[in-house]
């Protein structure tokens, strides 16, 4: 979740997102945007349940969903085959057709395509003075460096430890060392790593430091 003074934006919506979002105390009225990086189930598996509960609670505030071109059809098919009608005020933006857009409060979203097994986008959210970049499910690539250039915070996947870099390459993912190299080249201020394989324990990832700071954040809010 990315929170501004006036609203929240969710980046990806994996399985269980609604319950974790609710437990964290977020409010329907503040959720204005959902950004989806790609269509793999661990990144969209919680979207239909969240939108179902939004319908159930008769939330009528506008919600903008930004993501791959298949996202709207996926939602419509799921609701149709579940026997559900949709009267929610949903707006859909195909990120493959536009790589920059302005949202509320003079905040800009930039997107570049990453290098994964299916089309996948990284996102940069900036108010002109501060910026956060979210990159997941990708091989190391030049677009990642370009998108993250001089960011205040880079949240980057590290699915595999570097000792499994061949496995990471096979599955189009990044290791923690490769993510750190991207952070170095992009000259970001803070690196946070995420999207760990179950092969990695908490003890494994707690050892990951970059520029003297831990790369792992568990249930903690980070301010820019």
What pLDDT, in 10s, does the model give residues 142-193? 999 999 999 999 999 999 999 999 999 999 999 999 999 999 999 999 999 9
Spatial separation of the C-alpha atoms in residues 40 and 7, rounded to whole Å: 26
Tokens of 186: 């992009």
Residue-wise pLDDT for 38-77, tens only, equals: 999 999 999 999 999 999 999 999 999 999 999 999 999 9
CATH class of 1-98: alpha beta
| Residue 170, H or E segment | helix 165-170
Q: Please give the sequence-ordered ranges of beta strands (E in DSSP) within the chain, or none if there are none.
A: 2-3, 8-11, 31-35, 63-67, 90-94, 100-103, 107-113, 121-126, 131-135, 153-157, 190-194, 209-210, 213-214
Phi, psi at 199, each rounded to 5°: -70, -20
**Residue labelled with tokens 């791959």:** 68
What does the alpha-carbon distance between residue 192 and residue 133 come to, in Å, rounded to a whole number? 10
Q: Do domains 1-98 and 100-224 have the same CATH topology?
A: yes
Query: Are the C-beta atoms of 132 and 125 separated by less than 8 Å?
Result: yes
CA proximity to 32, closest of 75, 2, 62, 67: 62
Token readout for 115 is 């290098």
Q: Which of 172, 192, 197 is nearest to 182 (CA)?
A: 192
Q: What is the CATH number that goes with domain 100-224? A: 3.60.15.10
The reported pTM is: 0.95
Sequence spans of domains, the chain: 1-98, 100-224
């Amino acid at each position: 979740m990315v929170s501004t003074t006036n609203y929240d934006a969710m980046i990806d919506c994996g399985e269980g997102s609604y319950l974790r979002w609710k437990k964290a105390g977020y409010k329907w009225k503040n959720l204005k945007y959902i950004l989806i990086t790609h269509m793999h189930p661990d990144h969209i598996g919680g979207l239909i349940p969240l939108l179902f509960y939004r319908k159930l609670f008769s939330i009528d505030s506008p919600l903008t969903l930004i993501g791959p071109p298949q996202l709207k059809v996926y939602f419509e098919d799921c609701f149709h085959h579940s026997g559900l009608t949709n009267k929610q005020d949903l707006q859909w933006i195909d990120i493959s057709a536009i790589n920059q857009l302005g949202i509320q409060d003079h905040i800009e979203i930039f997107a570049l395509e990453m290098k994964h097994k299916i089309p996948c986008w990284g996102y940069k959210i900036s108010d002109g003075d501060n910026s956060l970049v979210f990159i997941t499910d990708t091989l190391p690539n030049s677009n990642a460096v370009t998108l993250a250039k001089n960011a205040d915070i880079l949240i980057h996947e590290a699915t595999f430890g570097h000792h499994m870099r061949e496995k990471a390459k096979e599955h189009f993912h990044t290791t923690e060392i490769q993510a750190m190299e991207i952070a170095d080249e992009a000259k970001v201020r803070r690196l946070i790593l995420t999207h760990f394989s179950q092969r990695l324990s908490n003890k494994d990832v707690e050892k990951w430091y970059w520029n003297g700071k831990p790369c792992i954040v568990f249930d903690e809010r980070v301010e820019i």
